Amino acid sequence: MAAIDTAATDTAATDTAAIDTPAIDTPAIDTAAPLPTAVTTTPDSAAAPLPVALITGAAGGMGGATAGRFLAGGWRVAMVDIATIEPSTFRSVAIAADLRQVDECRRAVFEAVRWGGRLDAVINAAGVWTEGPADETTEQEWDRVIDLNLKGLYFVCAEAIPHLEATGGGIVNISSDAGIQGNAGAAVYCASKGGVSILTKALALELAPRGIRVNAVCPGDVETPMLRSQAEIFGTADPVAYRQKLLDGYAQGTLARFIQPAEVAELIWYLCQPAAVPITGANISIDFGLSAGIS
């Protein structure tokens, strides 16, 4: 097993509000302004509007790749991040939000639906990494990781439920191989991602009668700017050796490489397509066999 997992570190440091990030000063939601009526026309209807995906952590590696995949597939995309995003097409919108705050989670969903008129998929890709001895963990560090990786994800899902029910939509959460197995030296991160994995199953059972599917994707180490930053921060002055130690944990040996963000995005895309309707409550590994066992 690799010493470190980076499934949640798909985002650049700025898009996860990892450290010393001030809260975004945003106006309160105007509840007097009603949301558009959810559209329930079938996908093959000529009058059907393009489906809408809300993607958190969209300024980062996996979130950005996923946004690109959905845009390439003809969807409209609401890109949520604490960092600044410049929409690349009229079919996308940027929503700045600090997802450590429950009100911000609710506002992000509200603004996405107000913009798109519907909501067909939620992809929770925002996340932050940490590692270190458990007996040295501070309350601040615990809160920093749990508030974004688990609490923020939960309340984005919760706020999206009625809108997804109206369209028969679904949720894809990015968990981690560390969300389905232990990872020495990363207890806080494992707690956050383990929560995501079992939360995904619980929500899938709860929401199945309402026509909403919920799945999690569990990547291993993904080649992103955050992985490089992680190696620099935690690599004890030798980020190259840190990255090599990660690769040494894979069964591929000399053929081992890091997962590409586009590979994760392709799996997420599939899980949101009609062909994947039977799949719900699944934690799907995409990790070169890292979580399969000891090789």
Residue 230 covered by a domain: no
Residue 262 covered by a domain: yes
Residue 207 covered by a domain: yes
- Share of residues in the chain with pLDDT > 70 (%): 84
Residue 250 covered by a domain: no
HEC readout, 71-129: HHCCCEEEEEECCCCCCCCCCEEEEECCCCCHHHHHHHHHHHHHHHCCCCEEEECCCCC
Residue 22 covered by a domain: no
Residues comprising the chain, all counted:
295
Q: Point out the catalytic residue in the list 189, 242, 250, 270.
A: 189
Spatial separation of the C-alpha atoms in residues 145 and 87, rounded to whole Å: 27
Spatial separation of the C-alpha atoms in residues 288 and 2, rounded to whole Å: 11
In the chain, how many domains are there? 1
**Residue 190 burial class via C-beta count within 10 angstroms: exposed 0-12, middle 13-18, buried 19 and up:** buried
pLDDT: is 214 or 42 the higher one? 214
Residue 241 covered by a domain: no
Q: The pTM is what?
A: 0.85
Spatial separation of the C-alpha atoms in residues 64 and 125, rounded to whole Å: 9
The CATH number for 92's domain is: 3.40.50.720
Q: What is the pLDDT of residues 179-231, one digit of tens each?
A: 999 999 999 999 999 999 999 999 999 999 999 999 999 999 999 988 998 99
Active site residue 154: no
Report the DSSP pairing between strands 283-286 and 170-174: unpaired
Residue 236 covered by a domain: no
Residue 148 covered by a domain: yes
Domain assignment of residue 143, given as a range: 13-17+47-222+258-286
Question: Band of the pLDDT at 48, cuts 50, 70, 90?
Answer: low
